């Protein structure tokens, strides 16, 4: 089986990069290939990287509430291009109610601050599989 390819990025003006880097390393150590988009991304940029890189999963590290605005926009762009790449979000500001809203809009998984690394890795493997 080929390695799972995960695109990790941060949306909008959120500058908190430590979580994204930690999750990228966690996925890499679990045998996944990580394409790191870094900070200050907009949905159109993530869509372009998704098309260019052929990723299996898109993941966002969220430490501001901009994801509530940008993730639905990205989901709409993916739908317009008929791409069925699952989107996951995680971070210190993900509340259970926000996670519920996002999954109802089409996010494959949302992880709050108490999520365990094994839970995240297994969920990504399941979603990508």
Name the nearest CA neighbour of 88 among 1, 20, 12: 20
pLDDT score, position 31:
97
Range 68-82 average pLDDT: 94
Domains and CATH numbers, the chain: 5-128 (3.40.50.280)
Q: Are 32 and 5 in contact (CB under 8 A)?
A: yes
Q: What percent of the chain has pLDDT over 90?
A: 71
Report residue 35 as tokens: 């394409």
Indicate the pTM of the whole model.
0.93
Range 40-66 average pLDDT: 92
SS3 for 9?
Answer: strand
The rounded mean pLDDT for the chain is: 92
pLDDT score, position 1:
57
Range 71-95 average pLDDT: 93
Range 56-62 average pLDDT: 93
pLDDT score, position 110:
95
Range 7-34 average pLDDT: 90
Name the nearest CA neighbour of 7 among 80, 64, 57, 61: 57
């Amino acid at each position: 089986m080929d390695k799972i390819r995960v695109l990790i990025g941060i949306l909008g003006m959120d500058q908190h990069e430590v979580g994204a880097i930690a999750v990228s390393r966690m996925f890499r150590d679990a045998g996944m290939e990580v394409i790191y988009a870094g900070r200050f991304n907009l949905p159109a940029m993530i869509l372009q990287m998704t098309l260019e890189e052929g990723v299996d999963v898109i993941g966002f590290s969220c430490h501001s509430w901009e994801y509530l605005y940008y993730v639905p926009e990205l989901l709409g762009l993916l739908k317009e291009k008929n791409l069925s790449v699952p989107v996951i979000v995680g971070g210190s500001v993900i509340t259970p109610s926000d996670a519920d809203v996002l999954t109802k809009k089409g996010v494959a998984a949302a992880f709050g601050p108490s999520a365990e690394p094994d839970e995240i890795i297994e969920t990504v493997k399941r979603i990508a599989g």
